[in-house]
Amino acid sequence: MKDLMMIEIYEDGEWIESLFQDITIGTKFRMRNPDTKELFVDDDKTEFVATSECYVKNLDVGNSILTIDVEKE
pTM of structure: 0.84
Proportion of the chain in helix, strand, coil states, percent, rounded to 5:
5, 45, 50
Distance of CA 32 to the CA centre of its chain: 9
Quote the number of domains for the chain: 1
Strand partners, 29: 9, 48
Q: Does any domain span residue 72? A: no
Higher pLDDT, 69 or 64: 69
In a domain, residue 73? The reply is no
28 within domain boundaries: yes
Where does the chain show beta strands of DSSP type E?
6-11, 14-18, 28-32, 48-49, 55-60, 63-67
pLDDT in tens, 7-65: 999 999 999 999 999 999 999 999 999 888 999 999 899 999 999 999 999 988 888 88
Task: Decide which of 65 and 4 is more confident.
Answer: 65
Residues of the domain holding 36: 6-67
Q: Is residue 21 part of a domain?
A: yes
57 assigned to some structural domain: yes
